[in-house]
Structure 1
Amino acid sequence: MTIKKSALTLVFFALTSWMIQAQTQPWSLEKCIEYAQQNNLSLRQAQYDIRSAELNIQENKYSRLPALSAGARAGYQFGRTIDPTTNSFNNERIGFNSFSLDANAMLYGGGFINNSIKQSELNTRAARLDAEATSNNLALDVAAAYLNILLAEEQLTNAEKNLELSEEQLEQTDKLIRAGSVPANDRLDILSQIAQNERAIIEAENAVNIGYLNLKQLMQLGPEDDLKIVRPEFIELPDNANPQAVGLEEVYSAALQTQPQIRAADLRIESAQVSEAIAESGFLPTLSLFANLNSNFSSAFRSPIFETQRVPQTVFIDGSPVTIEFQSQVPVDDEQIAYTDQIDQNFGQVVGLNLNIPIYSRHTNRINKERARISKLNAEVGSVQQRQLLEADVQRAIADTRASFNSYKAAQRSVDAAEMAFDNAQKRFDLGAINTLEFATARTTLDQARIELIRSKYQYLFNLKTIDFYMGKALELNMN
């Protein structure tokens, strides 16, 4: 028993440890996107829309089947009424009961059912593409939030390094002050620089927290849920990428094939065209088959009770009267016919065809046809709008990628120049050739250049991923 308890305890702690480790395991971009797509409320609504569209398909397909219904009535009639079973007048209370079974099947409906099925199938395909578009946009939003966290964390690391350098500089300045090489007031400049570094750390930490909050909201996680993303040592930027060579026609043509909202818009045009055919069916005759089984019971439906009686009758034979007795069935009373007997005797069957030819429908059919035509025109305009919007987005993405590439290259050159200037200032400061203010200025210039390099790098990376998104490529990060 003790061994069993010990084993269970070990299993419990192992599972607990595994769950904690799973919760604190860093999340990759792909994992964040997958989790968001599984839990996002907008995507969940899109899935409900798909299910609703699928139910419309089933409903339209089932409309091909016959409709079957049953009915029953029971009650009492008072006063002078016509008995529904005997069709005779009565002044007494009559109890009645009736049953019916009706069936109806459409034989020809002008193509209404077939076109309704076709339209619901098109709408379902469009709903699936809408869900795919929502999923893609969510993935892009998650990627942006993910990169913003990486940007904020890298800037936080840079701010912490700057604080360490400022503290080292303070120690160096204190040594120079004690040696009498620099005035004591120079220490105040370094303290001011340290305060600025501490403020930069606070701002960077806040940016990290806000970034995680945005990512959690996209993933439908609570603020209290643990989330830590994979922070690479280095993010590879494609060396062979040439934004200047990326053409609008190439990206736009690929986007037309890969972006689901374009295909969804085209399907809605087809659906609207089918709506016109559905509206046309209102001008055509319909033919349906109907059948009915019915029976009823009435308490006034009675059967007479006969009695055999001898009835004398005088006849003349050879001119002489002769009395002869005849036996005759004479009704002396009546009795109610049994319930089951009435149901059996009153059982009726009806079968027939129903032809309906529309002659005048108060212009309803013409209005429906015009409404369907307008719906098709509206769908065509919507398709053009989707294409124009996509083209504008692609143009903007290409322009942003080119601009961010130029900014990134300029930031690299700025950092190279600022580093050389800072190295020179460091040497001159160590020799006492410049004061702390001039040295701090060189440091600030280098810090700002590095911050801009980090920002431009992630902006360029995100813009590259946006181009990949329109080209139909997966959103992935090359991390080392």
Structure 2
Amino acid sequence: MKLVFVFLAFPIWVFSQQWTLDNCIDTALKNNLTLKSGLIRSDITSVNLRNSKQNLLPSLSAGATHGYNWGQTIDLFTNQFATDRVMYENFYLSSSVVLFSGLQNYYSVKSSKLSLEEQFLDQQIVERNVKIDVSAAFLQVLLNKEMILLAINNIEKTNQQYERIKELVSQSQGTKAEQLEIEAQLNLDKYLLIKAENDLKYSKLLLQQLLNVQISNGFDVSDSISEPISKLLMVDSSIAELPEIMKLEVGIQKQELALQSTKGKYYPTLSLIGSIGSGYSENNKKLTASGEYVPRSFSEQITNNLYQSVFLSLSIPIFNKNATRNQVKVKELELKSLYFDKQNEYNQLKQKIEQISLDIINISSQLEALEVVFSSASKNHDNFEIQYEAGSATFTQLIEAKNKLVAAQSELLQANYQMLFKQMILSFY
């Protein structure tokens, strides 16, 4: 495996520290509604897991009936015909447990555990994307602040030239055309400053929206970044450990369990069922010493009428219109599709990381070239200033040299921040 390192070296000026990048990321993660919703979904998945485990337990139910019979009926507790109205009561407990059903409940428990892991990986993906978005917005704010400083510096230089040319015009040593030309340049520089200030306001607004905090005009960020200046660009072996790939791997495992569970429908279902109960009937009478028939007492009947039952129930699937066979075929096809999805996601992530790595290498070479361009533009501007002072260069030539210098400064500044952003993205993978 070839490891490539890129070193970024450019000054980051430190001013008053307010919102740091770490503060912004922590706040965004804390306030992100998608992450909060994901936590609720994780709780739901945990409940589903607990439910799938409890499906392995026996069921237990209790019941009672109270009723009256009229006409000729057989009394449930005396097995005798009754023609009068008879009041009866019945009480029972029943329980059942599935002993075997093709291991469908077992696969359901394992699938629920994987769903919980899948939800955790989803959270990791969202967290990483939030970090990338916040980092991009944070760096954009810093870049716009630098562009404002650059615009202010240009205005100061142009204003100095403007004051000088005004004095020369007043002394009849300069032309009105030169004064108008530098006024136009000064107004253009002021416009660029206003544009840079508006860009800064907009970038701050976007960052605050990502943080999900109350919008404030006083919001500002720290101009320092506690990020290492060297980053490892690409490690192929780590792609398989990215949450996207791990999530798809979990999805494949879940699909395999779903396939096995569906095949379990081919097998018989064996259940154990038991019950216990008793009852009371007005028709259950006894002869007293006085020669009368009176209903036996409630407690006596409950004791005497106690009944119990235990039995096994076996259900054998014979033919269900090939429904199970078709379901198995669908699960097998879905499993094959997931393998392709995993490979496709792997390729896309690999290509994305390779592109970012190449971007960093390209930007690094561009930075070297821009340093040369900036140095040349700076020397060219200084040379035209000397020539203009000596009267061998026109003011138009001086303005052109100044604009080239400003353009070189702007390009170099943007390339520096672009390099830092690419390295930050790569550090999150």
Normalising by structure 2, report the TM-score: 0.86
Checking the alignment, whether the CA contact within 8 Å between 2:17 and 2:223 is kept in structure 1 is no
1:214 to 206, 209, 216: 206
2:134 to 136, 142, 150: 142
Corresponding residue of 2:403 = 444
1:402 to 361, 377, 391: 361
2:262 to 262, 279, 288: 279
Gaps of 5+ in 2: 1-15
Checking the alignment, whether the CA contact within 8 Å between 2:21 and 2:225 is kept in structure 1 is no
Q: Measure, in 2, the Cα distance between the counterparts of 1:419 and 1:235.
A: 30
Q: Measure, in 1, the Cα distance between the counterparts of 2:122 and 2:310.
A: 47
| Paired letter, 2:199 | A
Gaps of 5+ in 1: 1-23, 308-330, 471-480
| Paired letter, 2:171 | A
Task: State whether structure 2 residue 238 is matched by structure 1 residue 254.
Answer: yes
Task: State whether structure 2 residue 116 is matched by structure 1 residue 132.
Answer: no
Q: Measure, in 2, the Cα distance between the counterparts of 1:233 and 1:305.
A: 101
| Paired letter, 1:458 | Y
Q: Measure, in 2, the Cα distance between the counterparts of 1:431 and 1:225.
A: 48
Task: State whether structure 2 residue 147 is matched by structure 1 residue 192.
Answer: no
Task: State whether structure 2 residue 7 is matched by structure 1 residue 48.
Answer: no
Q: Measure, in 2, the Cα distance between the counterparts of 1:104 and 1:430.
A: 104
| Paired letter, 1:185 | A
Corresponding residue of 2:315 = 356
Q: Measure, in 1, the Cα distance between the counterparts of 2:226 and 2:59.
A: 68
Aligned partner of residue 220 in structure 2, secondary structure: coil
Aligned partner of residue 434 in structure 1, secondary structure: coil
- How well do the aligned residues superpose, as a CA RMSD in angstroms? 2.8
What fraction of aligned residue pairs are identical, expressed as a percent?
Answer: 26
Corresponding residue of 1:203 = 195
Q: How many residues align?
A: 414
Deviation per CA, 1:358-389: give whole Å up to 9, x if none. 22233232233223212311221221121121
Q: Measure, in 2, the Cα distance between the counterparts of 1:82 and 1:183.
A: 128
Task: State whether structure 2 residue 248 is matched by structure 1 residue 265.
Answer: yes
1:424-439 correspondence runs (5 A): 424-439=383-398
Q: Measure, in 1, the Cα distance between the counterparts of 2:318 and 2:226.
A: 77
1:78-477 correspondence runs (5 A): 84-86=76-78, 94-224=86-216, 227-232=219-224, 237-238=229-230, 250-257=234-241, 259-305=242-288, 307=290, 331=291, 333-470=292-429
Q: Measure, in 2, the Cα distance between the counterparts of 1:189 and 1:104.
A: 96
Aligned partner of residue 321 in structure 2, secondary structure: coil
Flag the structure with more relative contact order, 1 or 2, with Cα contacts below 8 A and sequence separation at least 6: 2
Q: Measure, in 2, the Cα distance between the counterparts of 1:449 and 1:342.
A: 104
Checking the alignment, whether the CA contact within 8 Å between 2:59 and 2:95 is kept in structure 1 is yes
Checking the alignment, whether the CA contact within 8 Å between 2:20 and 2:224 is kept in structure 1 is no
Q: Measure, in 1, the Cα distance between the counterparts of 2:195 and 2:337.
A: 49
| Moved beyond 6 Å, runs of 4+ | 233-236
Aligned partner of residue 185 in structure 1, secondary structure: helix
1:34 to 5, 11, 26: 26
C-alpha spacing 1:353/1:234, structure 2 compared with 1 (3 Å) = closer
Corresponding residue of 1:61 = 53
